Structure 1
Amino acid sequence: MDQRWRRRLDEVARFLAVGGVATLVALFLFNLLVHGNWAVSDPPLSDHALLAYVLANSVGMVISYRGSRHWAFKHRETTYADGGRTAYVLINLLTMALPVSCLWFSRDVLGLDDPWADNLSANVIGLSFGMVARFYLFRTVVFSQPRLPQPGVGAIMTPPPTPPRTHTP
């Protein structure tokens, strides 16, 4: 395997590890807010699953940014003055529409509101779509790495300068 592919696979592995930690935190918070647990018998957002999902994943987003900036994509520079935070948040909010839409469809169209249906629709199906979109967008927009020109590829060839003509009578 050449160096470029090894570097990309390492990057994917780090991205998945960071995303895994952020997802576990968001998953725990979402289920606590909507379905409760042994300590919370009356969950505060049981009737507001979409809001709970957005809140829980906002916490996950902060964790994800820190891990992505300082570990997963640490070797990549960003061209943004704020270190890519604004672009990162915008991408997360846009791609969060995928799992939120799946959760909405499951709850409001299919009428499913149990923990299995919520987690399958939002945290398995929707999150899978969102993860692929985020990896591509983070890598190409937020943590873009300037490409170095390769010699001889795409270079504009200019002819050598011609010597000045001298006029002889």
Structure 2
Amino acid sequence: MDVAKRLYQRFSSLVHELAKFGSIGAIAFVIDTGLLNFCNVVLDLGPMTSKVAATTVSTTFAYLGNRFWTFRDREQSGLGREYFLFFLLNGIALLFGVLTIGFATYTLGLDDPLSLNIANIVGVGFGTLFRYWSYKKWVFLEATEPIPVELPETGGVRPDR
């Protein structure tokens, strides 16, 4: 039991970060899959256009969730820089989804909604691994100074007086 406790203490921040990243990712996945199916089946935009549209919306949600919740304790190197890199890296990750959907649809001839969703899940899985690694490496950088958890002590004097 002591070993498990030490392992948890050692990796607790990583476990919490992965849980938050996974939560945001799960919601973004629901948004992505819902819009993919809506655009493809209801709007008849085709699988590739539908995937790009769905990913654009879900990526915006994911950026906001990851910036202001998952990686909020990391250095903020500028909203513009982060947003640009986030979307650039998501564009690369989108290739995983587009390639798997394109392969299933145009190479294997599987153009039914179930095959589209299975291909989407495979592409999202590969893209998620790439995104987590790349966000930590290039977008949400480690803080160079510790970010305070609480407001500094004021010695009983309220700062607004």
Normalising by structure 2, report the TM-score.
0.81
Q: Secondary structure at the match of 2:80?
A: coil
1:146–1:76 Cα change, 3 Å? closer
- Figure out how many residues of one structure are paired with residues of the other and give that number: 139
Corresponding position of 1:12: 18
The 8 Å contact of residues 33 and 44 in structure 1, kept in 2 or not, is answered as yes
Q: Secondary structure at the match of 1:35?
A: helix
Q: CA deviation at 1:23?
A: 1.1
Please give the per-residue CA displacement for 1:109-142, whole angstroms capped at 9, x wherever unaligned.
Answer: 00001111001012x1111000010001001110
Q: CA deviation at 1:86?
A: 0.5
Structure 1 unmatched runs, 5+: 37-42, 149-169
Corresponding position of 1:58: 56
Corresponding position of 1:142: 139
The 8 Å contact of residues 14 and 71 in structure 1, kept in 2 or not, is answered as yes
Equivalent of residue 132 in structure 1, options 129, 133, 136: 129
Distance in 1, Cα, partners of 2:58 & 2:126:
17
Corresponding position of 2:44: 44
Structure 2 unmatched runs, 5+: 1-6, 146-161
| 1:117 partner amino acid | S
Distance in 2, Cα, partners of 1:76 & 1:100:
31
1:32–1:147 Cα change, 3 Å? same
Q: Percent identity over the alignment?
A: 27
Distance in 1, Cα, partners of 2:94 & 2:78:
22
Q: Secondary structure at the match of 1:79?
A: coil
Distance in 2, Cα, partners of 1:75 & 1:83:
17
Q: CA deviation at 1:35?
A: 1.8
Please tell me whether residue 27 in structure 1 is matched to residue 33 in structure 2.
yes
Corresponding position of 1:92: 90
The 8 Å contact of residues 78 and 145 in structure 1, kept in 2 or not, is answered as no
Distance in 2, Cα, partners of 1:81 & 1:73:
13
Normalising by structure 1, report the TM-score.
0.77
| 1:22 partner amino acid | A
Answer 1 or 2: higher relative contact order, Cα 8 Å, separation at least 6: 2
Corresponding position of 1:68: 66
Q: Secondary structure at the match of 2:75?
A: coil
Corresponding position of 1:160: none
